Amino acid sequence: MLTEAQKEHYAKDGYLVLPGFKSPADIAALRERAAQIVEAFDPAESVSIFTTQEQEKTTDDYFLGSADKVRCFFEEEAFGADGALRQDKSLSINKIGHALHDIDPVFMAFSRDDKLAEVAEDIGLVEAQVWQSMYIFKQPGIGGEVRWHQDATYFDSTPISVTTFWFALEDATLENGCLWVEPGGHRGPLRERFIREGDAVRVEKLDAMPWPDDSTAIPVEVAAGSLVCFHGLLPHYSAPNRSPVSRHAYTLHATDGRTAYSAGNWIQRGKDLPVRGFR
Ligand code: FE2
């Protein structure tokens, strides 16, 4: 599937853009299904930003309990001071996660095909295990920033193998908060590890190496239908979306089954929903 030049680019820069990977029909189906999920979502299921003493724990439980489910999460700026939504629910959701690819038939179909399996193999995932899916809305006006991070922080394995598959469902531009990456930054160390201990999570600092700045980071502006693959150690972020247009994207995170998946990762799967590959 991938050419030698593409494989070399991935090895050298830590990411690869494949334009036109998904068809307009594929994208339309996914967007329609996401809209249905949001429409059916009752905001009362998730406790939002209201300040009660139990708030933090409730939020954690809702998040941690989503590893093998389909749940909606609000944008941080979705609510006004009075606790009411500032705009329609459909424009207030930050993302849907985290097991769409294993539960929802439309997402399942989008997430698994031979073409995707071949790309994964070509960039080194011999026995792909797809742990997580997220539909990211990056809503107009309030789409929040995602600060610099490495996805291996959330999917540790020995050795590190996590790879991200980022599908642009709309054009991603500077204005609406496209990805920014540090080419070659995947050769740097893992800075942080996100660790789950029972019902609690914490972030462990591993390396003091600073995050990239504007001198080494580049924007990855891509057209709808593009697939961006990147290495789990590649530093990346996305700016807030202050534009009037949304920036929908869909992501999958996969590790290689030949590497040892950490028991401290927040997503674990039991026998009822075993982790699977791209085929
Ligand atoms: Fe990320």
Where along the chain do its domains lie?
Answer: 4-257
SS3 34: helix
Class (C level, CATH) for 4-257: mainly beta
Protein residues placing their CB within 5 Å of the ion ligand 1: 151
pLDDT cut 90: percent of the chain above it: 82
Cα–ligand 1 centroid distance for 156 (angstroms)? 13
Segments in the chain forming alpha helices (H): 4-13, 24-40, 55-64, 100-103, 105-111, 114-122
Assign 189 a pLDDT band (cuts: 50, 70, 90).
very high
- Sole residue written with tokens 């590959």: 277
Cα–ligand 1 centroid distance for 102 (angstroms)? 20
Give tens-digit pLDDT for 93-149: 999 999 999 999 999 999 999 999 999 999 999 999 999 999 999 999 988 889 999
Confidence check: pLDDT of 151 > 60: yes
Cα–ligand 1 centroid distance for 49 (angstroms)? 23
Paired sense of beta strands 200-205 and 192-197, if any = antiparallel
pLDDT of res. 56: 64
Cα–ligand 1 centroid distance for 208 (angstroms)? 19
